Amino acid sequence: MLDRFKGLQLNFLHGLLVVVFLVGIACVEWVINLTSSQYQQLKSNRATTELVGIRSQMEQLFGEASRAAFAFSSYFSVQPVTEPVNTRLLAVSILKESPVVKRVSVWRNQDLLFAYPITPAMTLWTSQAPKQYDLTSPVAQLFENYQVSSPRLLENGALALDVTLPIYTRHFTFSGFYWGSVRLLVDISEIMRRVREGSAADYELALSRASVEKLGEEVFLGNPDILNTADATTELDVFNETWQIHARAKHTNTKVSGMGWLRFFGYAGVIVLAAVIALLSRSYRALHQQAQTDVLTGLLNRRALTQRFKSLASRNDKPLEVIYIDLNKFKPINDQYGHAVGDRFLMHVASILNTYVNAKEAGRIGGDEFVVLRPLKTSELGNSDSVKDIVEHLREHPFVFEKGELTIHASVGRAEFPAEGRSLEELLHVADERMYEDKNKNA
């Protein structure tokens, strides 16, 4: 029972080692995932906060362009007939107050009346007349009548779009309300540059149209990959359109490497803990082995032999025999050849006994005294040949060493359980007496 209990202890340590290792790995991954999730949430919250500020700045800059268009439209609705110099002064003032507006033009129906500033590359811009508006429209709907072109690249590589607003007038010289339109060139790149000068410098930004039909054309500024990996996204109303701003934090590798170090130290801690448990298990096994076996021969010692006997005897009182073996002429071997040879001689005897019976059923209880426990069949009760067999088995395997060969002689006695005793001590006493009878007979 004690052997079984100690075996269970060893199995428990082995199981504990596996459980600690697996649970440790799972805990490390859980902590990493939790930390990563919290970091991603924190990063997303920070990006959302920053994006609100970015949207506010962009709305302010686009609002300046919107007010500039409305100012020009209002001016011509009141004075459709005006001097070019006054129009130029108004355009200069608008471009100065709204730096994101790069060009202004005025159209009378489909004809260009005014453009400022005039550059060699503006031919394409002035050749595309705005669409016609309704002849009559309430002024209250003026802001709903913006025409916004698709973003395009300018001659300097900047991204811009055209914003067109109709001009309605009640001037007595014109019939109807619709007079023409004002077109502004709004520099999106300039807007983004001003935005990036603030906190947006830590983020990569991308702009897309929320209502675009072709997904492949939705991103018109920034890296399209940002859409799939954005930390935050928000909508931006630009004139009569809805855009989306996508933000992704730069320099995220620091956190990734931080997770790597966390995983490294976490796994290292698990391995160290598992190694400690493994060392404890090995130490326990070694101590258990030392407590159970004879140091020299590796056979069971008296204590372990007693436990083994109890284990065998508890199996429904099945018969077994206790064989007591005493080596003859061992002292002269020690005296003549030395203790080193004597120890080797004893180890040789132990190996022979291990081939005769199970290693867990042979033990050494004294200097040259050995005990063998052997289950008996019913037919062997009272007439076992084990004594004769052991003597012959030992004699057939002499000890060979550097100085020659030594035949093993032994005196043997036996006792049967339960007929001749219920405890190991009782049986050893009977077997010891019979061993001495055999020794005296062979003397």
Q: CA–CA separation, 424 vs 443, rounded Å?
A: 28
Q: Which CATH number fits domain 302-442: 2.60.40.10, 3.30.70.270, 1.10.260.40, 1.10.4190.10?
A: 3.30.70.270
Over the stretch 125-169, which tens digit does the pLDDT of each residue have? 555 556 655 555 544 445 456 788 888 888 788 888 888 888 877
Task: Examine domains 43-249 and 302-442 and report if their fold is the same.
Answer: no
294 in active site = no
Evaluate if residue 254 carries a pLDDT over 50.
no
In this structure, of 2-6, 21-25, 92-96, the range with the lowest mean pLDDT score is 2-6
Q: Which member of 294, 368, 385, 438 is catalytic?
A: 368
The confidence score (pLDDT) of residue 290 equals 66
Q: CA–CA separation, 45 vs 64, rounded Å?
A: 29
Confidence band, pLDDT 50/70/90 cuts, at residue 214? very low
Confidence band, pLDDT 50/70/90 cuts, at residue 9? low
Evaluate if residue 375 carries a pLDDT over 70.
yes
Over the stretch 161-200, which tens digit does the pLDDT of each residue have? 888 888 877 665 555 567 788 888 899 888 888 888 876 7
Listed by start position, the domains of the chain span: 2-31+253-283, 43-249, 302-442
Q: CA–CA separation, 13 vs 167, rounded Å?
A: 88
Evaluate if residue 422 carries a pLDDT over 80.
yes
Confidence band, pLDDT 50/70/90 cuts, at residue 1? very low
Confidence band, pLDDT 50/70/90 cuts, at residue 413? very high
The confidence score (pLDDT) of residue 216 equals 43
CATH architecture of 43-249: 2-Layer Sandwich (3.30)
- Quick check: 362 and 372 in contact, CB under 8 A? yes
Rounded mean pLDDT of the chain?
80
Q: For residues 376 and 360, which has the higher predicted lDDT (pLDDT)?
A: 376
Q: How far apart are the two ends of the chain, measured CA to CA in Å?
A: 42
Share of the chain above pLDDT 70, in %: 81
In this structure, of 22-36, 201-215, 321-335, 428-442, the range with the lowest mean pLDDT score is 201-215
